[in-house]
Amino acid sequence: MNLDLMNHGYNPVIIKKADRLEYFEALDKALTTGDYTDFVRLLTRLEIEMLKKYLELL
């Protein structure tokens, strides 16, 4: 997943242990129903968290 994100110009994300269940549930829903809404929202939130970390380093 992170390779795909980086290939499309995004930062890699870290799926923390606390987010793991949410990640698997969103991924399962996306793959079984074709509804990627929860998965995209989760990745968006994680991407924003990573961008904030990068900005803190600057």
Q: Categorize the per-residue pLDDT at 8 as very low, low, confident or very high, splitting at 50, 70 and 90.
A: very high
pTM above 0.75, yes or no: yes
Compute how many other C-beta atoms are within 10 angstroms of the C-beta atom of residue 46: 19
- pLDDT digits 0-9 by tens, 14-55: 999 999 999 999 999 999 999 999 999 999 999 999 999 989
Residues whose CB falls within 8 Å of the CB of residue 10, separated by 6 or more in sequence, listed in order: 47
